[in-house]
Structure 1
Amino acid sequence: MPTANLSRSETAARSAAITVRDYRVELDLSAAPDRTREGFATTTTVAFDATTSRTWLDFIGSSVESVTLNGAEIAVEYDGARLSIGGLSETNTVVVRGTGVYSRSGEGLHRFLDPVDNQTYLYTQYEPADARRVFACFEQPDMKAPFTFAVTAPSGWQVLSNRPYAAIQDNGVIRDVAFSPTLPISTYITAIAAGPYHSVESSWTRGELTVPLGIHCRASLARYLDADTIFEVTKQGLDFFAEQFDYPYPWGKYDQVFVPEYNLGAMENPGLVTFTEAYVFRGAATAAQYEGRASTILHEMAHMWFGDLVTMVWWDDLWLKESFADYMGALASAEATEWTDAWVAFANRRKAWAYLQDQLPTTHPIVADITDLEAAKLNFDGITYAKGASVLKQLVSYVGRAEFFSGIRRYFRAHAFANTTLDDLLTELSAESGRDLAGWARAWLRTTGVSTLTLDNGAIVQSDPRPHRLAIGLYDFDPLGALVLRERVELDIVDERTPVSLAPAALRLLNDGDLTYAKVRLDVESLATVESSLDRVTDPLARGLIWSALWNATRDGVLEAERYLSMARDFAPAETNMALLTAVLANASFTIGHYLPASARDRWSGEWLESCWATMHSSAPASGAQLAWARAVAGAASVDGRRAADIRAILLDRVPDGLAMDPDLRWALWTASAATGDATIADLDAELTRDDTASGRTAHRRALAARPEADVKAAAWECALGDTTLTNDHLDAIIQGFRDGRHRDLIARYDEAYFAALRAVWDQRSIEIARRIVVGLFPAADSLDGVDRWLASNADAPSALCRLVVEQRDHLARGLRVRGLPQDAHSTAG
């Protein structure tokens, strides 16, 4: 599809010449349960004004049967992605009848068959530009219009869209559902979900406004759906945003549907928010999982205003919605729900994502230069989300919270149902705060990189200098031995070196309170205190900042990997904040696999497994900590088989007291055993019989591919690259199984084949599937030679593909550098 990509310049020209008035979209999904039917009938009627004689509509389907312009049928000019239309008048109505294709990749209209009850489920996912896989449209965010959807589905199906029903007719065979017209919205946030979904209803009322609420999931997951908890967070969020935004919820209803094989955490379709089914917990879940789900619910809810009501003109300003939603999700969690420690998870987890992304050679400003859709697809990253949210947190302090929210309210009122750029936002914030924000925007929104702050001989030294408002926390031991804040010093810094006078303290913590966006280093004395007494720091946010400083220093090669692992082993068992514990466990596992020299890796793999095993057994029964450590055991056991017999005993009958052996944990343990050669096909098949669900079948694929046998790895390789019928989840499972167990001796032979296949993968697969293959199968080599040869000989490759390869190269180079292996002149520094 040579014209599937869309550039910023051509879409700007199109929106200048075309003004859309409305859409009517009719979809015939009545044959969706028939797996032999790959497509569905789609009819789009779009009315628009034009100042040009020719334009195009975007549509990616199997065929276009007919095109009617102003009542007359015209020739079909269609290349598989663009439908050219000539002979336009000042006012036009175009009717396009075509055939769309059900998706297996989570892009467009995804079709899923539930193996539990053999029922079919459909849902849409469009961002940034996959509405064109379902109906013909002007696929760009600045061409908003009202949409009226009409769907034909099997009788009895639940059919949902952005708006409430206008009419339903069901004759026992098919169901015709017509929806009320939407308010003006962009194509990428229109939505449909259809199937025998299980539904729970409620409502939210504020003043004279009552909003119907719905929560939906597959029927086979209904017993796991904790709808009351989700409704509670939903109502708390609506209360919070109604108060802060002072703009009534505009979308009529608020449905939330949990869908299978989803590519994202969630998507903000107004009135019909979609979430990954991973948020429907099939067994025990930690506090960190519940907190993460609440934050995601509130993130998507913030989008009802940031992104849906007011939308960016083009993907350069993606941050105008994602950074705000990330910030608002954490703020609302901390202030409106039981998850009052939400900023702890944000500081340690979300900002870690931003710091990682901002140190890659492909980093970009928060306000990015997005020339086309392929670039946009890859910009849903740690910069756009977490760095942007971190910077917004600083901006609130800079302009004042009251002034910030007053400016936001002005922004909503001035630009409701329209499209904006950065300047539009800054105009409203400046007007309310009285501050000229141009300098702030230049320093934070239009630059790249992250400063590193260090205390050195009575001064704060920062690399890559920027203006920061920060605090230094001085911590000492109290009479009971706890390490507590004694004094906090707040100051502004701009220069590379800023003198500061500090009293002696056992621990001096830069960026105490997490006021700014920067990596911090612990001075020698503070590191010594932490190394002996990290578990005595009582404040969870302070502990989170310390863990973050330790992790960043390890990644940068400043702190020896074995010192980090020693602290993780010594202090993680005492960590009470589940978000911090989860992050430390993941980072320790990553450190062993990527940052230790080979001479230390085997020893630490065994030590870490034994530490996880012991802590799992010593943790309080049925606690979140016990569950987190059991999951860590599964990860550690995938590279060290010494506990294989004990793990088999747990799986068969000797479960530690209180440990919830839900299906996901069982599969994690079986996969670990498979990766070390200690589980047979019969074992895995028996577990599938026990859990013959969609998740179980996906996990079974992964476990089979994890077995350390040459022919198994060969089959997994061929499947990942050659089987175009794999769903997105099944592809991930095959790739993960191929990589499980750190069997470099079995998979190194595929390095050359990987690089030889890259161009074909990118050309022939959708960008979502191609991205999974490019990232997931990147070789974990001990040299940069292979990737450097590919980059040198593929300078003409698509820029989005090159970006992915360059990023994976940088991750590999960092690992080699931290391990002390030879580097070439092109390697980047931390």
Structure 2
Amino acid sequence: MNLFKASLVALTCTVLMSCATQSTLNTGPRDASPYISQYQANLRSEVISDVSYELDFQLTGETEFTASTKVNFRLSEVPKELSLDLNKAQIKRFMINGTAVYPNYNGAYISLNSRLLSTGSNTVIVEYTRAHSTNGEGLHRFQDPIDGKVYLYSHFEPAAAQQMFAVFDQPDIKAHYQISVTAPKDWQVISTMRETSIKAVGASNRWEFPQTPKLSPYNFSMHAGPYQVWQDNSGRYPMRLFARQSVAHQVPPEDWFTYTKQGLTFFDNYFGIPYPFKKYDQILVPDFLYGAMENAAAVTFSEDRFLHQAAMTAEQRQRLAGVIMHEMAHQWFGDLVTMKWWNGLWLNESFASFMGTLATQEATEFTQAWRNFYASGKQKAYEQDSLVTTHPIEVPVATSQNAFDNIDAITYQKGASTLKQLRHLLGDVVFRRGVSHYLKQYSYQNAELDDFINSLAKASGRDLSAWTQEWLYSAGVNTIKAEYRCEGNRITEFSLLQLPASADLPTLREQKVNVALFTKGRYELRNDVTLPVTYQGERTEVKQFIGERCPDLVYPNFDDWGYVKVELDDKSFDTAKQHLSNVSDPLLRSMLWQSLWDGVRDGKLSLDQYLSAVFVNAPAESDYTIVGQIISSLLRSKEYLAQIAPMQQNYANNAIKGLAQMSLRKTMESRGEHDLQHRWFNAYIRLAADRDSLRHLAQLLDGTSKIKGLTLDQDLRWAIITQLNRYDAPNALQRLTKEAAKDKSDSGIKAALAAEVIRPEAAAKRRWLSRVHTDSLPFAKQRIIMESLYPAEQKLQSAATAEERLANLREMDQKGPVFMRSYSQHLIPTDCNYTSIAALDKVLDSQTGLSNLARRALLETRQAEQRCVLIKNTMGH
């Protein structure tokens, strides 16, 4: 899965999970919830084997579906307690080994009567009805507001298959699935296998599918509805693409099929194992919780992220290619070979992130994919890994409810970066050989981290136990810094210093980096020498540099081999500030921009000094990836400036206006470069906050003003309308109402909702917040409300409900992890001052019953507030 665990040995406890939590896994009977502990899952998998499911679904498009599950399995012994998961169903008939009995069912799982079970073969049959899900899990139902057509899709990760059928819902009980579906005649039905027959049965069609290979429950899927279908059989494997009929005009199938074919060829060759399934289907679906999901041979993608009103920009095409590659890598690493328990989920996601980027770089036109990874994903990992809630890559997962507690940039991007530097350490050929051996040895089975590491160790002939301990079981990101002396313009001493993440996280690591020295030339910084260095410990001397010309800039992680933060020495930092536009190497330029932004976040460079560097250097930047990186920092700067006001009100207003004007100027100058122009114009919309910029946006919307080379598609129109309403520009609400009357699509309804919620009206904010608190809307709309309710500059509106939101936190936490992830990210109050920090302290001290996920969010919000106060205090210094 695309969006953000150690073995159960004693490890240093992080703030996320106390030692008590780590060592007291539930060993008693299940607690009547739909979640299962690792201990209970282990007990179940120890006695169960040879599982197969025969699934039959009656689908009508109404709010409920009817189904039956026949589970065949073997028991090595009859346990005292054995449960079969099935969530919120109405059971109509229940049989164990041919005997009809009344089910011992609590709404979450069925407790099987051990007296009716036997050693050896067993069969359980459950016939039931169930409401379709509406929160993106289980068998989700969506009705298209344009034409009224109903679409279904399944999503099971981490443990939501039980919301669709009776199942032993844990990854290490792999099974064969055979599915039959009765559905309306105009529907498509998509699953892991291609159907063997479609027969008319009255007003419906009966779809029969062959048995699947062995899969974990979360990798199986079924999707149904009147989907538009495109096919391409020009490659080694038949490919199909599906989307709702009303959005089919927004789908460029040629792009999807091109990247898919490129990926399948690349992975077949890289892994040395043919694609393990018989066809490759991809389905665009609405209301999706994440970016995409690696269901075996039937991958789902979020419409919100991959449907566009106009031709895709380079950024959008690269994102599509990258996510296709990520999910495709999972077909081998995740579906073919699957982790035994959810503590191994990080390896699935890290590996797919690493391989997805590698495939994008080497198999598509996006040859700068690793640069893009550095500028976006890797920075998220560094940021996450620098928080008080940092955690090892591998940590325990007590129950299936906790599976996603630590799914974050450490899981995805730090893990991917770690694998990338391990590949540099071992060499590409050795790394590839170890991966191939692992996939061949554990095909259609479950495996653990040690199995993967042992495969790489065997291929390399190297003991990787120390590496594993340093990188996978120890939290935090280290920092490296060059320390050197010069005499007579020549280097006399040179060392790399390695700093621990903190006093509480003292681990120092070994890795291989590229160290580069630069001197100032007339027009550019010259790269005098580059040297690969394997460093470890506090200090590593690099004697090879002695005698080289004294550099003006040293960059100790050139080419981004290592996972490590770089602290520039004072001379290099000054050079970076003054000569950014003279750096010809785009990756180095990207890294130096990042060093300046890191200086702001660490309190070493004031925000106003950073923005001064932006106004001087950003207009000269033409690299698409770096422009995106700069814009990202400008949007963050705008948030800080909004929070810093009114203390620096005049400066904040003038700076934001200056950024908007710069973005507009770059938009106009880039008219011959569609992608760059589009990127700068999007920035202009989001930076526009002053009266003149907002008036200009309104004129563009009305057509009374134009920008050469730019056409406003529906996505851009909604972005402008949202911004106008955010600042309550003249006639903004009327524009919203008029646009909503024209665009009645699902995306239009959601955009109109966001634009209405973001308006700075205190009474309306309270009403919207009440709708979030009372569950009166589908989750897809609740999520939009949460994201839009309190932008940074609406401090008074946020403060008006801050106390209520903190008081309701525990009640909101009870709604479960899917809800809480959005709530905690957007609705924990912030105000960039010590009073706000104290309020968060009070909640952390008093509300002891919060989930790990909620406490983590509070801790991270408090740290973000502390950072904001630091940035505010350094302004003007």
TM-score when normalising by structure 2: 0.89
Q: Is the 8 A contact 1:106 1:125 kept in 2?
A: yes
Alignment-derived partner of residue 503 in structure 2: none
Alignment-derived partner of residue 204 in structure 2: 174
Give the letter aligned to residue 219 of structure 2: I
1:302 lines up with 2:350 in the alignment: no
Map Cα deviations across residues 680-701 of structure 1 (whole Å, 9 max, x no partner): 3321011112322111110100
Alignment-derived partner of residue 660 in structure 1: 711
May I ask how many residue pairs the two structures share in their alignment?
809
CA distance in 2, matches of 1:220, 1:762: 36
How far apart are 1:2 and its partner, in Å?
Answer: 5.0
Tell me the SS of whatever aligns to 2:82: strand
Alignment-derived partner of residue 614 in structure 1: 665
1:509-548 → structure 2 map (5 Å cutoff): 509-548=555-594
Q: Is the 8 A contact 1:568 1:585 kept in 2?
A: no
1:776-815 → structure 2 map (5 Å cutoff): 776-781=826-831, 782=833, 783-815=836-868
CA distance in 1, matches of 2:859, 2:86: 31
Alignment-derived partner of residue 714 in structure 1: 766
Q: Out of 78, 100, 122, which is 2:105 matched to?
A: 78
Consecutive aligned runs of 4 or more in structure 1 exceeding 6 Å deviation? none
Q: Out of 712, 736, 746, which is 2:797 matched to?
A: 746
Alignment-derived partner of residue 195 in structure 1: 225
Tell me the SS of whatever aligns to 2:671: coil
1:354-393 → structure 2 map (5 Å cutoff): 354-393=381-420
How far apart are 1:434 and its partner, in Å?
Answer: 0.6
**In 2 relative to 1, CA 656–470 (structure 1 residues): closer, same or farther, beyond 3 Å?**
same
Gaps of 5+ in 1: 823-830
Give the letter aligned to residue 796 of structure 2: D
CA distance in 1, matches of 2:104, 2:387: 42
Alignment-derived partner of residue 436 in structure 2: 409
CA distance in 1, matches of 2:778, 2:106: 26
Tell me the SS of whatever aligns to 1:377: coil
Once the two structures are overlaid, the 10-residue window that deviates more, 19-28 or 529-538, is 529-538
Once the two structures are overlaid, the 10-residue window that deviates more, 683-692 or 339-348, is 683-692
Once the two structures are overlaid, the 10-residue window that deviates more, 778-787 or 669-678, is 778-787
Alignment-derived partner of residue 561 in structure 1: 607
Computed over aligned residues only, the root mean square deviation of the Cα atoms, in angstroms, reads: 1.9
**In 2 relative to 1, CA 96–809 (structure 1 residues): closer, same or farther, beyond 3 Å?**
farther
Q: Is the 8 A contact 1:58 1:132 kept in 2?
A: yes
Q: Out of 594, 618, 621, which is 2:640 matched to?
A: 594
CA distance in 1, matches of 2:852, 2:111: 26
Map Cα deviations across residues 121-167 of structure 1 (whole Å, 9 max, x no partner): 11111111111111111111000011112122111101101111022
Alignment-derived partner of residue 747 in structure 2: 695
Give the letter aligned to residue 333 of structure 2: F
Q: Is the 8 A contact 2:405 2:852 kept in 1?
A: no
Give the letter aligned to residue 514 of structure 2: A
1:469 lines up with 2:512 in the alignment: yes
Give the letter aligned to residue 314 of structure 2: A
How far apart are 1:803 and its partner, in Å?
Answer: 2.1
Q: Is the 8 A contact 1:286 1:578 kept in 2?
A: no
Q: Is the 8 A contact 2:179 2:211 kept in 1?
A: yes
**In 2 relative to 1, CA 460–118 (structure 1 residues): closer, same or farther, beyond 3 Å?**
same
Give the letter aligned to residue 799 of structure 1: N
CA distance in 2, matches of 1:668, 1:770: 26
How far apart are 1:777 and its partner, in Å?
Answer: 0.8
How far apart are 1:484 and its partner, in Å?
Answer: 4.5
Map Cα deviations across residues 6-39 of structure 1 (whole Å, 9 max, x no partner): 2111111111122242011122221x1x4xx3x2
Alignment-derived partner of residue 491 in structure 1: 533
**In 2 relative to 1, CA 537–289 (structure 1 residues): closer, same or farther, beyond 3 Å?**
farther
CA distance in 2, matches of 1:71, 1:155: 34
Give the letter aligned to residue 256 of structure 2: I
Give the letter aligned to residue 283 of structure 1: A
1:250 lines up with 2:276 in the alignment: yes
Give the letter aligned to residue 463 of structure 1: L
Q: Is the 8 A contact 2:607 2:874 kept in 1?
A: no
CA distance in 1, matches of 2:437, 2:258: 29
CA distance in 1, matches of 2:217, 2:615: 50
Alignment-derived partner of residue 130 in structure 2: 100
Tell me the SS of whatever aligns to 2:389: coil
Give the letter aligned to residue 116 of structure 1: I
Give the letter aligned to residue 788 of structure 1: D
Q: Is the 8 A contact 1:20 1:46 kept in 2?
A: no
How far apart are 1:548 and its partner, in Å?
Answer: 2.5
TM-score when normalising by structure 1: 0.94
CA distance in 1, matches of 2:89, 2:556: 58
How far apart are 1:741 and its partner, in Å?
Answer: 6.1
How far apart are 1:451 and its partner, in Å?
Answer: 0.7
1:12 lines up with 2:42 in the alignment: yes
Q: Is the 8 A contact 1:350 1:386 kept in 2?
A: yes
CA distance in 2, matches of 1:377, 1:724: 26
CA distance in 1, matches of 2:709, 2:745: 25
Tell me the SS of whatever aligns to 2:71: strand
CA distance in 2, matches of 1:362, 1:320: 20
Q: Is the 8 A contact 2:483 2:496 kept in 1?
A: yes
Q: Is the 8 A contact 2:198 2:207 kept in 1?
A: yes
CA distance in 1, matches of 2:630, 2:828: 25
1:642 lines up with 2:692 in the alignment: yes
CA distance in 2, matches of 1:155, 1:532: 67
Tell me the SS of whatever aligns to 2:537: coil
Alignment-derived partner of residue 446 in structure 2: 419
Give the letter aligned to residue 793 of structure 2: R
CA distance in 1, matches of 2:769, 2:462: 57
Alignment-derived partner of residue 482 in structure 1: 524
Alignment-derived partner of residue 45 in structure 1: 70
Q: Is the 8 A contact 2:281 2:298 kept in 1?
A: yes
**In 2 relative to 1, CA 652–574 (structure 1 residues): closer, same or farther, beyond 3 Å?**
same
Q: Is the 8 A contact 1:131 1:137 kept in 2?
A: yes
CA distance in 1, matches of 2:632, 2:865: 18
**In 2 relative to 1, CA 170–570 (structure 1 residues): closer, same or farther, beyond 3 Å?**
farther
Q: Is the 8 A contact 1:21 1:48 kept in 2?
A: yes
CA distance in 2, matches of 1:141, 1:576: 47
Give the letter aligned to residue 772 of structure 1: S
**In 2 relative to 1, CA 223–483 (structure 1 residues): closer, same or farther, beyond 3 Å?**
farther
Alignment-derived partner of residue 685 in structure 1: 737
Q: Is the 8 A contact 1:705 1:737 kept in 2?
A: yes
**In 2 relative to 1, CA 59–724 (structure 1 residues): closer, same or farther, beyond 3 Å?**
farther
CA distance in 2, matches of 1:475, 1:689: 59
Map Cα deviations across residues 567-617 of structure 1 (whole Å, 9 max, x no partner): 333333333333332232122111231377431433322222222222222
Q: Is the 8 A contact 2:603 2:874 kept in 1?
A: no
How far apart are 1:477 and its partner, in Å?
Answer: 5.0
Alignment-derived partner of residue 118 in structure 2: 89
**In 2 relative to 1, CA 113–396 (structure 1 residues): closer, same or farther, beyond 3 Å?**
same
How far apart are 1:268 and its partner, in Å?
Answer: 0.7
Alignment-derived partner of residue 827 in structure 1: none
Tell me the SS of whatever aligns to 2:667: helix
**In 2 relative to 1, CA 676–647 (structure 1 residues): closer, same or farther, beyond 3 Å?**
same
Tell me the SS of whatever aligns to 2:459: helix
Tell me the SS of whatever aligns to 1:12: helix
**In 2 relative to 1, CA 532–585 (structure 1 residues): closer, same or farther, beyond 3 Å?**
same
Give the letter aligned to residue 813 of structure 1: Q
Map Cα deviations across residues 636-681 of structure 1 (whole Å, 9 max, x no partner): 12x4443221111000102311113111111111111101111433
Q: Is the 8 A contact 2:790 2:797 kept in 1?
A: no
Q: Out of 183, 193, 199, which is 1:163 matched to?
A: 193
Tell me the SS of whatever aligns to 2:806: helix
Tell me the SS of whatever aligns to 1:456: strand
Map Cα deviations across residues 750-808 of structure 1 (whole Å, 9 max, x no partner): 11111111111121x24212221122111122221222111111223222322222222
